[in-house]
Amino acid sequence: MHPQPLETLLAGVEGVGFGDWRRVAVSAIALDSRRVEPGTLFVALAGQHRHGRQFLEEAKARGATAVLLDRRDWQAGLRSPLPGFAAARPREAVAVAASRLFGEPARDLELVGVTGTNGKTTVVYLVAQILEAAGRRPAYWSTAEVRGGQTTFRPLMTTPEAPDLHRFLAEVRERGGREVILEVSSHALRLGRVHTLDFRAGVVTNLSPDHLDFHADFADYREAKRLLVSGLDSNALAVLNQDDPEVWGFRATTRARVVGYGLGPEAEVGAEEVAAGGEGSRFRLVFRGEWARRAGVRSLAVALPLPGRHNVYNALAAAAVALHWGVEAEGVRQALERARPPVRRLERFDLGPFTVVNDVAMNRASYDAVMETMRRWQRPLVVVNALRGNRGEAVNREIAETLARWNQMLHFSPLILSLSEGHVAALPADYRVRPAELKAFLESAADSGLTVECYQELPDAIARGVDRLVPGGLLLLLGTFGMDDGPALARAALESRWKGA
């Protein structure tokens, strides 16, 4: 990246420059001092756990040429060993500077943002697959995978910080891409990571309490999600789950055209005759009102290979976006019938008489969706769950309560719990389980009558799960980063058991 004047990158941004900032040029922007290289603008802001001011000297030593501060910190007396700028709205300033540094790539792209508590990743994948089937070259950034830039990888953030996001968008543009689907987290909306982006459509899947380690309460979380819809202009489309009252209430706060999707009789993109099973779902995709005219048909029968009622909702949201992008209704149907799940979203493999299903369940609603699907399979069940680390006691307490409730119906006790210490310690981000998180989970499970066997390392937990599995049984692997290696470990253990049988 060619160096650009800091004054140019921050032109029009409210704030005050200090030092010899008008003479500084930068070629990179970093919010993490460990990613600073010569020519970097270091962003020294308050984080969830630490403040960037602690790393000013380190950033300078690594070659940072300037710093971006919060004007409130500057006014409170914070001084820097580097020249720079103190912005009134520093998070927005980062997004503006990053966009300009990479040549404002979003202006040449058509963007769709997908937010909500659950289903975001699957909607992103389904939209991408429908567009691919229609001959397009979509790019996407999701929790499970990033595709369309120079490399394909699994990110550590659902939505990256603005410098990484605009770098990705620039790569998509350079490779000739045009359509981009972005999974947009509540963190990204609240922290302004997607500031400067004009979305052609915004999708909200559903809302239930989540990330309350970051948000003050559910109202704050809901308000963050609403920002995606309220930020759409009159030429954009808001795709809202009409069956979720919280989401449907967002329609009053946007200038965009609104389409409701759901299973109710008034949804413009809806589903009837739904038969959601453990192997897949069948339903009639229904178009009403303006959307019937747009689709050219009133209904189409769909055999969706993704299991669970929740995936019917995900398919409806994806269908609305695809139609908005000009894909024909029949093309949407055909693509949905060939749909593949995202990585670790009810992924399944069979080995001999055993079946393994794994899912990156992360909150009460996603655990409910997975367990409802397991209920439909009616097979002997063994559950291995990776505890969610560095996300607070409340979410782990709720997960334990949810698993205990489902155990009363599915009878999989004892639950096999993994702290996955070695696996999460190797990650660049800190997802280690805190003692208070483990205590909250175990106490909640005990209070709810769920027996738990706890293992420090994932291989031991997987081995125990495989050992308990009976022929014809189902091994369910649940959890976020701590379970990433679980499917491969389970396959190896089952292959060994099956060959030795």
pLDDT at 208: 81
C-alpha–C-alpha distance, residues 321 and 129, integer Å: 12
Which listed CATH number (2.30.29.30, 3.40.1390.10, 3.40.50.970, 1.10.10.10) goes with 4-97?
3.40.1390.10
pLDDT of residue 363: 86
In the numeric block, the tokens 């029949």 are attached to: 330
Model pLDDT, residue 489: 96
| In the chain, domain spans | 4-97, 105-337, 347-500
- Which tens digit of pLDDT belongs to each residue from 262-320? 999 999 999 999 998 777 899 999 999 999 999 999 999 999 999 889 999 999 999 99
Q: What is the CATH number of domain 347-500?
A: 3.90.190.20
Give per-residue pLDDT as tens, 128-154: 999 999 999 999 999 889 999 888 888
The CATH-assigned architecture of domain 105-337 is: 3-Layer(aba) Sandwich (3.40)
Tokens matching residue 177: 């891409």
* pLDDT at position 382: 98
CA of residue 482 relative to chain centroid, distance? 16
Radius of gyration of the chain measured on its C-alpha atoms? 24
- Asked whether 237 and 257 are in contact (CB, 8 A), the reply is yes
Work out whether the CA dihedral 123, 128, 129, 135 comes out positive or negative. Answer: positive
Low-confidence ranges of the chain (pLDDT < 70): 48, 209-216, 499-501
pLDDT at 2: 84
pLDDT at 341: 87
Q: Is 381 helix (H, G, I), strand (E, B) or coil?
A: strand
